[in-house]
Amino acid sequence: MKEKLDKHKQQSPDYRLIFSDIIDKKFPHKREYCEKILRKEYLSAIDIMKLNQMIFGASGKIAENFNQKHKSYNKADILEILNYQKNNKLNNLQTSLKFKTSRNTIAKWKKLYSNLH
């Protein structure tokens, strides 16, 4: 598992550093608010979305559409979303609205990972 995390770290941007720089330069008053997530050893896609929301607030429809086209989730992120759905007793539509993805994507993930969660 550690090898997978190390391999993933090499391939993905250093979001911790990126968000820390943004906070230090533009939003120093939000440092304390975001510190709990920034201290995590591994930032999941959900953590990155939370940080983005905390720092920049709600985005416009055009920016949301652009960002949606460029999202990607690894297996750990998908399982975290499916566990969130299960723990909060949400249906596919509610989950898709929360994570801004399609309900068909949620259904596909449930089929792919039904034996794991």
| pLDDT tens digits along 56-68 | 886 666 666 666 6
pLDDT value at position 69?
A: 65
Residues 6+ apart with CB under 8 A from 6: none
Q: Tokens 């759905």 sit at which residue?
A: 85
> 72 — alpha (psi -120 to 50), left (phi > 0) or beta?
beta
| pLDDT surpassing 80 at residue 7 | no
Segments making up each domain of the chain, as ranges:
2-69, 75-112
* Tokens (6 digits) for 12: 């993905």
Residue 1: predicted pLDDT: 46
Residue scoring higher pLDDT (49 or 84)? 84
User: Rounded CA gap, 57 and 51, in Å?
Assistant: 9
Average pLDDT, the chain: 83
With a cut of 60, say whether residue 44 has pLDDT above it: yes
